[in-house]
Structures are given as structure tokens and as C-alpha cells.
Chains A and B, each alone.
Chain A
């Protein structure tokens, strides 16, 4: 199964909002609500930011939000801050009873 499709990079200025898309198929994103997003600073453990499409774990800023439409999920970060600069990965459960990731998006805060 091919990886989910994410843009390689996005950028924004402090205070702005950005959205990262994650496109799959009806066999993964489109078929299940187990879409999650992870923040990864190089050298550190990845961190869960959004689970089940649009839920935030305790402790994650409400500047992070998720959504899904058809086979595409999205992560929106509002009020960009310098500390948000990181790699972001989406993930989904699949019809094959596996988990699949996107290729990752590098967020640059200008």
C-alpha cells in the first residue's frame, strides 16, 4: 500500500494559519475515522497532536485542529509560533488492518 500524500513543505509567518493536507483512498482515510497527526522535531520522540480526525490530546494547544473530507484529511495550525517549526506526519488505519503514514511535511515558520 502506498504512503498517504502530503506536501513536502509548507511555510508561514508567525501569527498566520497554515493547513497541511493528507490524501489517501477509500481504503484508508476515506473509510475510517482513525486519522491522526504527529509532530516530529528531529532527534526527539514524535508527539501525537490530533487523533480520530479532530480530537486533541490533553496538553496540545487548541491552535491545532484537524478535519476530514472524503479521502483527504487536513491539519490546521493557527497563530503560528516559532516552536511549531517541525515535521508533521499524518496516519490512518487501513482496510488491510495495518497503519499507514504520509510522507511528512516540513513546516517552516518564517
Chain B
């Protein structure tokens, strides 16, 4: 059974940094691209970033480009999201998701439960 477990969320002041982690199990991790998706409470979902199986391709939403960095460690079956220069509008629940494809974005086959991030002074 596929499991995605996010961690690293919390309360942080504007301008500070945070690193989210997602531990994957139950599938061949390096066969799949991975993503981060967020949801502001009471709002819709927003794709944040994606990374191909070998880290050769990464993508970012315009709202986080230049501030967030996605990475993965296939030896540890983990994907990460480094969030710098955090803004109040980055406050959201952050989900890790597995793509069906390996080297392109298609759709989100599985999701984790997410981790909350609150940016506030």
C-alpha cells in the first residue's frame, strides 16, 4: 500500500525559512515524479512544485518561483520542499503527491495527509 507522510510544517515568521519532508513507501520511489500541492484553509488546491524521477526536471508555480526549491533523495525515498522568504500568503496545508509518470507531469495518483504551515508574526 502506498504511504506518503509529510513532516516539517509549523509556525514561522514572515521572511523565515522552513523545510518540508515527505517519506514515501509502498512503491518504487524512483519510478515516479513527485509533487507538492497546497490548500489555503477554505480555498482550493494549488500546485506548488514538481520533480521528475531523477531530479532532472523541476517545475514551480509562479507564486513560489525563486523562493521554494524542491529536491529528492531516491536512496531515502524522500522528497523535500525548501521554502525561503516565507510570506503570510504561503500559509496553507501542504500535501505531498505521487505522479503517475516519471519524467513529466500527468496526475496525482496518491496523496499524503499533509502538514500545516502557518506564516505569521
Contacts and interface: CB of A to CB of B under 8 A. Distances in A.
A1 B100 CA distance: 23
A45 B107 contact: no
Contacts of B37: 101
A97 B47 contact: no
Contact of B107 (A36, A47, A102): A36
A46 B108 contact: yes
A103 interface: yes
B120 interface: no
Interface string A70-110: 00000000000000000001010100011111111000000
Interface secondary structure of B, over-half rule: strand
B106 A101 contact: no
Nearest to A105: B44
Contacts of B114: 45
Contact of A48 (B45, B46, B109): B109
B112 A45 contact: yes
A64 interface: no
Given A34-B105, A36-B108, 11 more contacts: A46-B97, A47-B111, A48-B110, A51-B107, A52-B106, A98-B47, A98-B59, A99-B35, A101-B37, A104-B43, A104-B45
Interface of B: 4, 35, 37, 43-47, 50, 59, 61-62, 95, 97, 100, 105-114
9 contacts: A1-B62, A3-B46, A44-B113, A45-B4, A45-B110, A46-B111, A89-B45, A101-B44, A104-B43
